[in-house]
Chains A and B, each alone.
Chain A
């Protein structure tokens, strides 16, 4: 997997549909899990991830290479998720099965994307944190983004991402302790 930029260039400039297929294959799961941290529902996140790829296909926005392709893609997805939240803020309802834990779908994606068991436990603990904490932890610890890239995706300053990350880690630690898990990031 390259960084996605060349696949997107093939799709955008040469009309190669396979380029978009490669992007979907490479980024779909990560994007969906990231969007889940914003909208709190894997099915909605899946729809939004699909919307993100459709937007790439119809608007063909220009990727200028100022950040990594993934940072850029996640920022587009985040914008769509924020729009979705604005439109549905009065009507958001979480299915009863989603309210207390993960759905089967999310578990499947989680297992496929995260793979390491201990990280999966952390991810599940994260689900009980505030949405912003989930987002920043996901981007920095699961997507291995730098604070700068995470700041770009979340449209915040690097300083505020650092502060957010600090509070998120503290909160996650408390949550993990509650669940009897001791986890130290290496």
Chain B
């Protein structure tokens, strides 16, 4: 049987031991948490990219290609405009700023390839990609697939399917069957012929070894 002092001493010893162990545990937990944060963040980013379809084969096939194409074509067209437009304008009046030229080109029925991350001809009308909010348009009537419409999706067959939009007759919804992704195209003022010419230029560049 313990004396009172012994009991008091034992009680305090056990409390101290518990607190020391508790402190060690919480310190270890904090260290583990700090180590785990970057791993969790990396995992979250990875999952985010995966969910957004960045790793899907369709993303490689379409999105990547169209981005590259945009970059190349933009450079080409801008170069042409910078050389051609100021000369014509200089005859008529004071030379306008070079930066305004693309707008005038577009309004006069020429194609600004910088906008063409996605584009098709449907009923002799050119539809260019635009970026509305998610869910702004819903697919309605089926128009055809990637082989049916002239444009950037030609040759993709049933991987791309075109629909009219329920909300707007001037919008086409492109659906990627491989991952359910959607792209929206809007009716544009440029003529189908000038668009075809630009498509020809791209094909020629491809034939000359350009990779988009």
Residue contact B15 to A58, C-beta cutoff 8 Å? yes
Contact, CB under 8 Å: A46 / B18: no
Size category of the binding interface on chain B: 10 to 19
Interface residue from A28, A42, A43, A54 paired with B4 (Cβ < 8 Å): A28
Minimum distance in angstroms from A65 CB to a CB of chain B = 23
Query: How near does chain A come to B130, taking the closest CB pair, in angstroms?
Result: 63
Label chain B's interface by main secondary structure: helix
| A residues in contact with B4, CB < 8 Å | 24-25, 28
Q: Report whether A20 and B19 are in contact in the complex, using a CB–CB cutoff of 8 Å.
A: no
Selected contact of B1 from candidates A20, A21, A108, CB within 8 Å? A108
Contacts of A21 on B, CB cut-off 8 Å?
8
Is B51 on the interface with A (CB-CB < 8 A)? no
| Nearest-Cβ distance from residue B55 to partner chain A, whole angstroms | 50
B residues in contact with A34, CB < 8 Å: none
- Chain B contacts for A25, CB-based, 8 A: 4, 8
Of residues 8 through 67 on chain B, the ones whose CB sits less than 8 Å from some CB of chain A are: 8, 10-12, 14-15, 18-19
**A53 at the B interface (CB under 8 A):** yes
**Contact across chains for A58 and B19 when beta carbons are under 8 A apart:** yes
B207 interfacial by beta-carbon distance below 8 Å: no
Q: Chain A CB within 10 Å — which of B10, B11, B18 has the most?
A: B11
Overall SS of chain A's interface: helix
Complex contact A28–B7 (CB within 8 A): yes
A20→B11 contact, CB < 8 A: yes
- Taking A46-B1, A105-B1, A108-B1 as contacts, is the C-beta distance between A24 and B7 under 8 angstroms? yes
Does any Cβ of B come within 8 Å of A17's Cβ? Answer: yes
Question: From B1, which residue of chain A is reached at the shortest CB distance?
Answer: A105
Q: Are A42 and B1 in contact (CB under 8 A)?
A: yes
- A50 interfacial by beta-carbon distance below 8 Å: yes
- Residues of chain A with a CB closer than 8 A to B7's CB: 24, 28, 46, 49-50, 53
Check: A57 CB closer than 8 A to any chain B CB: yes
**B4, B10, B15, B19 — most chain A CB neighbours (10 Å):** B15
- How far apart sit A122 and B35, CA to CA, in the bound complex (Å)? 65
Contact B15 A46 (CB under 8 A): no
Cβ-defined contact, A57 with B15, below 8 A: yes
Which 3 A-B pairs have CB atoms at the shortest separation, nearest pair first?
A: A57-B15, A105-B1, A53-B11
- 9 new A-B contacts, CB < 8 A, other than A42-B1, A46-B7, A50-B10, are A24-B11, A46-B2, A49-B7, A50-B11, A53-B7, A54-B14, A57-B12, A57-B15, A58-B19
A-B contact pairs, 11 of them (CB 8 A): A24-B7, A46-B1, A46-B2, A53-B7, A54-B11, A57-B12, A57-B14, A57-B15, A58-B18, A58-B19, A108-B1
